[in-house]
A and B are shown apart, each in its own frame.
Chain A
Amino acid sequence: MGIRFAFFISLIAGAVVSYLFTGHPEPSWTVAQLDDYLLNILILMGINVILAVSLNVVNGHTGQFSLGHAGFMAVGAYASATITLLAGKSLLGLLSPLGLMAQPCLFVTALLVGGISAALAGLLVGIPSLRLRGDYLAIVTLGFGEIIRVVINNTDTLGGARGLSGVPPYTTLGWTFGIAVFAIYIVGTLVNSTYGRGFLAVRDDEIAAEAMGINTTKYKVTAFTVGAFFAGLAGALYAHFIGYITPEGFNFLKSVDVVVMVILGGMGSTAGVTVAAIALTILNELLRQTEQYRMIIFALILIVLMIVRPQGLIGDIGKLLPRKKGGA
């Protein structure tokens, strides 16, 4: 019941949702009009779910506190935009024999390119970060996220600080929902397998995990790579939804957004972070008029949560509860 099943249910889920919410007998490939407010919220929700679930692999399941997730999202966004926007015309020309399927194929390619580029970035970030613990790892991942942002800022082909506009609006609710279901399924089942228990072992006690034959290095790198892959997918979806991306949109604050979702949902609980992502998307919308209050509320959530209930809403206990002294 692995990836093939996941593809299958994601496809079904995507098609069903697409039909229900856009009312056509077959999925339409265009984003609904921007005044279709609810549709947009749902798409954002889906993207946030993918982000939260993917960060959870690193922060929650493997216990490696990453503060640079927005960087991977950025890589996915820009890499996919390169395919559809910058190379789009020529590629569409190449694919024209496929007729109606040309555009979806292009989009799929863009998504994959986005995901894989982000995964490579995850690999690059994961490897040097391995021997770092706790707060140091957090700062280094933050640093990597910033470096990615600065590099994009200074790269004119990617639009630099002005950003890239005119990214074709290929993202639909169907795609988003389908990929969200895919992410949830893959991550959820991965972690429950015997192999997947290894991630949790690394989180709970690295030294004991090593002693039980678990290559903690490999697990950490894998976690980063998988997390980055899905973040890249989310970024690609986002780029083709909003149509206009700038490096500033993928800064530290964006990483914090995702971190709040993961913490609120309980590090290590796929269901929890999904709910948290949905809840926070709604909260964001309610507070859209007052951007500064939104961040103040987020900040207060973080502070209060850490004092009162560090394990989040539906949390797994993981690393955030007080531990007994003496080596554990």
Chain B
Amino acid sequence: MSNALLDLRNVTIRFGGLLAVSDLDFHIQPNELVGLIGPNGAGKTTVFNLITGVYTPTSGGICFDGDSVAGQSAHQITAKGIARTFQNIRLFNSLSVLDNVRTAFNLHLEGGFMSAIFRGKRFQNEEARVRAKALELLEIFGLDSVADLPCRSLSYGDQRRLEIVRALATQPRLLLLDEPAAGMNATEKVELMKLIRFTQERFGLAVLLVEHDMKVVMGICQRIAVIEYGRKIAEGTPDEIRRNPKVIAAYLGEEVSHDA
């Protein structure tokens, strides 16, 4: 699939003796909402980390929009257009809500260190522009009223949303969400589903969702890939996956997360 936005071919990674991911073939098209599921320890977060440059594959290739990104550092990959959120929320705890978003604008900042020291007209304009855009983003997600509060004071759900806003500030074309429904109750999950779909449409993104909650995954994903023990065992539409015997077997006897 040469017109795929994200293209993983034969990706394998070993940690010492442990084969965490093996021979993974996986693609995402622009504007697709794809889900990645699998039992605990299947390697979902490892795949995430491979795509975002935290890990380097032992073998195989990862291409984003035609460019190889395997082995690049995380910030270089983000610059290419891939952004992510984290399973355990990783906000910048000492900063305000607004500043959390501002930091993510650094990527597209024209002026750097020198500009910040000399503070000319161009710098002033850029600062104002960044602030305005950050507030705009926050407003879309309903967080502009708390912009100056420390991000630690936000509720869990709001923090998750802030993480998404921050990721969006890097102007990605592919957004990776790592278990965004973790810790949410049924109502919050419904909100989340709407939020993800809204984000995808509003910003024209491809989204890769790693999630345990079947309702969320089945509810919004256009396509789902299932991995077990580091290998892809199935791929298809939610309906196909629901009926796939291999998938059922992989989950058989395992507690799939309930609604709260």
- Check whether chain A touches chain B (CB < 8 angstroms): yes
For the complex, give the distance between the alpha carbons of A317 and B96 in Å.
Answer: 12
Distance (whole angstroms) from the CB of B83 to the closest CB of chain A:
7
Binds A, one of B18-26, B85-93, B138-146: B85-93
- Indicate whether B115 reaches chain A with its CB closer than 8 angstroms: yes
- Indicate whether A108 reaches chain B with its CB closer than 8 angstroms: no
- Indicate whether B170 reaches chain A with its CB closer than 8 angstroms: yes
Which residues from chain A sit less than 8 Å from chain B, CB to CB? 1-5, 186, 189-190, 193-198, 200-201, 203-205, 207-216, 222, 268, 316-318, 326-328
Contact (Cβ within 8 A) A197 B120: no
20 interchain pairs, CB-CB under 8 A: A2-B117, A2-B119, A189-B119, A193-B119, A195-B115, A200-B99, A205-B92, A205-B93, A209-B92, A209-B103, A211-B52, A211-B74, A211-B83, A211-B86, A211-B167, A212-B107, A212-B167, A214-B103, A214-B106, A328-B89
- Indicate whether B111 reaches chain A with its CB closer than 8 angstroms: yes
Assuming the contacts A193-B127, A207-B74, A317-B93, asked whether A213 and B106 have C-beta atoms less than 8 A apart, the reply is yes
Complex contacts, B109 vs chain A, CB 8 Å: 194-195
Contact (Cβ within 8 A) A204 B88: no
Total cross-chain contacts (CB, 8 A): 126
Partner of A213 from B54, B75, B126 at Cβ < 8 Å: B75
Contact (Cβ within 8 A) A207 B54: yes
Contact (Cβ within 8 A) A208 B90: yes
Assuming the contacts A211-B74, A211-B78, asked whether A194 and B92 have C-beta atoms less than 8 A apart, the reply is no
Assuming the contacts A195-B109, A212-B107, asked whether A207 and B117 have C-beta atoms less than 8 A apart, the reply is no
Distance (whole angstroms) from the CB of B189 to the closest CB of chain A:
21
Distance (whole angstroms) from the CB of B117 to the closest CB of chain A:
5
Contact (Cβ within 8 A) B106 A212: yes
Assuming the contacts A318-B94, A327-B87, asked whether A201 and B119 have C-beta atoms less than 8 A apart, the reply is no
- Kindly supply a per-residue 1/0 record for chain B positions 216-243, scoring 1 wherever the CB is within 8 Å of any chain A CB and 0 otherwise: 0000000000000000000000000000
